[in-house]
Amino acid sequence: MIPPHPIDHPFGPTNKSPSTRHLASLRKPNDGAHSGTTTPSRRVRDLDKVARQLTERDTAILRSVAEHKFLTIGQIEVLHFDNTPGSRARAARRACARLRRLGVLGGLTRTVGGTSGGSGGLIHYVDEVGDRLLRRDSERRTRRPFREPTERFLNHQLGIADAHVALVQADHARQLELLRCDIEPTAWRDYVGIGGARLTLKPDLYAETACPPGSEYVDAAFIEIDKGTESIPTLIKKCREYENYRRQGIEQERSDGAFPIVVWSITAESEAKAERRRIALREAIARDRGLPDDLFQVIASEQLIDTMQKGTSL
């Protein structure tokens, strides 16, 4: 267990909106607009016009989509409309449709199973106007061109979002208190390996929770999402990276001596295949003498909340 310490609130509140500082920052003059057929002053005016039409929740949605790269309407609904009176689903659809009309968000019509909002509906990404708004609030000046994602990449990103959404829903239901949820790359950890090589551990998520809500103790976990696309030896290699990082003691210094448990959430195109993979990974971890068994939890995606409720820190 990790003794309590000051922690930020989790990203993706329900009906709460980011501070007005965030919205105001989107309205700063654009000193980095790149040239085109439209003059810079016209670009600034047009961008300011869009920014004035954004509510604080619109800005929060834009930032959520940028953080996750892709989100379904159902996921956006849970992250930002949970306490909306009336039909939150309709409210979420209206908000996303307006952001698409403004060019802030774009939508993929691809059908992907296993997401919180069901397999239908649009999958949202940051479109050109949204990218320009975000660039005005950061040091990045170069537009990131949209590239059609592969099915593998898209499924993985939506799987990460599903885990985040599950934690937020559990927080809403008071099953636990979600104190912090970092998505890649914020969740990544830099460290120095053998021979002074600079390495980066790349978890999909990092979460801190308290159970029951209000508890004085905080549990932490690195969460890995596997959709059945990587070999077991590849997963074991990642497990060794976690053990190498644990031996550095860096995380323990940050967390008063405790190291987060590593949760492998494994799914596949069929439950039978997913269970075979979970068994195979558990057995491979047990056979590897360099890996402590109690560092890893190998679970089905629906077991994430139960795992976090039981406590996760070494």
Give residues with Cβ within 8 angstroms of 84, minimum separation 6: 15, 91
Peptide bond into 203 cis (omega under 30): no
pLDDT tens, residue by residue, 106-142: 999 765 544 443 334 789 999 999 999 999 877 666 6
Give the number of other CB atoms < 10 A from CB of residue 30.
20
Beta strands in the chain (DSSP E): 71-72, 105-108, 123-126, 177-183, 189-192, 198-201, 205-210, 219-226, 261-266, 296-299
**What is the pLDDT, as a whole number, of residue 73?**
92
pLDDT of 71 above 60? yes
Where in the chain are the domains? 20-149, 174-309
Q: What is the DSSP letter of 216?
A: S
pLDDT tens, residue by residue, 265-288: 999 999 999 999 999 999 999 999
Burial environment of residue 267 by CB neighbours within 10 A (0 to 12, 13 to 18, 19 or more): buried
Is it true that domain 20-149 has CATH number 1.10.10.10?
Answer: yes
Rounded to an integer, what distance in angstroms lies between the CA atom of residue 267 and that of residue 29?
Answer: 46
CA–CA distances in Å: residue 218 to residues 15, 158, 212? 25, 27, 10
DSSP strand pairing (261-266 vs 71-72): unpaired
Residue 221's beta-bridge partner residues?
Answer: 207, 261
Rounded to an integer, what distance in angstroms lies between the CA atom of residue 312 and that of residue 24?
Answer: 39
Band of pLDDT at residue 147, cut at 50, 70 and 90: confident
> Model-level pTM?
0.81
Q: At 16, is the secondary structure helix, strand, or coil?
A: coil
Residue type at position 95: A
**What's the half-sphere exposure (Cβ side, CA atoms, 13 Å) at 185?**
2
Rounded to an integer, what distance in angstroms lies between the CA atom of residue 51 and that of residue 122?
Answer: 23
Give the mean pLDDT of 187-207. Answer: 92
Nearest to 281 by CA among 222, 225, 227, 232: 232
**What is the pLDDT, as a whole number, of residue 194?**
79
Give the mean pLDDT of 3-26. Answer: 39
**What is the pLDDT, as a whole number, of residue 11?**
38
Rounded to an integer, what distance in angstroms lies between the CA atom of residue 235 and that of residue 193?
Answer: 19
> Is the distance from CB of 82 to CB of 14 less than 8 angstroms?
yes
Band of pLDDT at residue 314, cut at 50, 70 and 90: low
CA–CA distances in Å: residue 239 to residues 152, 227, 233, 248, 285? 21, 16, 10, 15, 8
**What is the pLDDT, as a whole number, of residue 141?**
65
pLDDT of 303 above 60? yes
Band of pLDDT at residue 85, cut at 50, 70 and 90: low
pLDDT tens, residue by residue, 16-54: 333 333 433 443 433 333 334 445 555 566 888 999 999
**What is the pLDDT, as a whole number, of residue 256?**
77
pLDDT of 189 above 60? yes
CA–CA distances in Å: residue 209 to residues 2, 199, 257, 305? 10, 27, 17, 10
Task: Kindly state the greatest CA–CA separation across the chain.
Answer: 64
Residue carrying structure tokens 């090589």: 197
Rounded to an integer, what distance in angstroms lies between the CA atom of residue 168 and that of residue 259?
Answer: 23
